[in-house]
Amino acid sequence: MEITIVGSGTVVPRLIRRQSCVAVETGKETLFFDLGSGAVRGMLHAGLDPFAVDRIFFTHFHPDHTVDVVPLLFAIKYGAEQERERPLALYGPEPFESFFGGITNVWGDWMLGDYLTQVHELSHTCSSPLDLPNLTVSWAPAEHRPESLAYRLEGENGAFVYTGDTEYAETIVELARGAHTLLIECSLPDDTPAPGHLTPSGVARIASEAGVERAVLTHVYPQADALDLVQEVGRGFEGEVVVAADGTKFSV
């Protein structure tokens, strides 16, 4: 799978980091994970086609992970050269149906086209992974908001895990066990932590306990950007550490 960090930022408005969004091209389909502010334009900057989307997954409902679903669906309906005919599937944690229903109460006629929109609410216990072309998707609770989920994509060359926003949690370690690449939030410095978020030492702890090969740091606040994050995480994790930028691409 080919992975593109579309947005690596947070709620803080910054020119160099858009809000959260990750694109995964599986060879068969295009998946987006989270759609924070600026995600749709960020896809263009990263050389991606927003209309290529087949499935959208959300980790939680904070606006910096969800708001661009409105301009994306509005663009699919009115901004595409060709009318969309194939279905679009959206996935989010419980209570995703009421969350998405709230958005469509406000914007619905402008967001929903004649194509089939499939809304899937994911239970916190992943009893059976989703079987998608070329990969399977499983998930586990993250420690951030009551609804928060992290996702694991298992492909033929290994697993990719995206934490969304979280603090240290054994569920994340289990989900990331043996993964090739862990895309993990690294919000703040160790000396100014915040509940529901990770600092470099927590990132290192999760990455080393899970035994991943590569940790890619995202959701970076300005205070953390002021640090040498590769060195900070490297104190507690022997694998490869990469600080994501908007547009960073890697393969698994």
> What is the smallest separation between the CB atom of 18 and Zn ion, expressed in angstroms?
12
> What is the smallest separation between the CB atom of 219 and Zn ion, expressed in angstroms?
6
DSSP string, 87-135: -EEEEEESSHHHHHHHHHHHHHHHH--SS-EEEEEEPSS-SS-EEETTE
Q: How far apart are the two ends of the chain, measured CA to CA in Å? A: 5
Question: Tokens standing for 162?
Answer: 């995206």
Decide: residue 63, CB within 10 A, 0-12 exposed, 13-18 middle, 19+ buried.
exposed
Residues lying near Zn ion in the complex (CB under 5 A): 62, 64, 165
* Residue 25 vs 185, nearer CB to Zn ion: 185
Question: Tokens standing for 48?
Answer: 């991606």
Crossing angle between the packed helical segments 96-111 and 69-78, to the nearest 10 degrees:
40
Q: Quote the radius of gyration of the chain (alpha carbons, Å).
A: 17
> Which residue is at the shortest CB distance from Zn ion?
62
> What is the smallest separation between the CB atom of 65 and Zn ion, expressed in angstroms?
6
CB 14 within 8 A of CB 36: no
> What is the smallest separation between the CB atom of 59 and Zn ion, expressed in angstroms?
8
* Residue 1 vs 21, nearer CB to Zn ion: 21
* Residue 147 vs 165, nearer CB to Zn ion: 165
Residue 56's closest CA among 45, 41, 66? 66
* Residue 55 vs 62, nearer CB to Zn ion: 62
Residue 72's closest CA among 91, 44, 94, 99? 44
Partnered with residue 135 across adjacent β-strands are 132
> What is the smallest separation between the CB atom of 83 and Zn ion, expressed in angstroms?
34
* Residue 62 vs 214, nearer CB to Zn ion: 62
* Residue 25 vs 64, nearer CB to Zn ion: 64
> What is the smallest separation between the CB atom of 214 and Zn ion, expressed in angstroms?
22
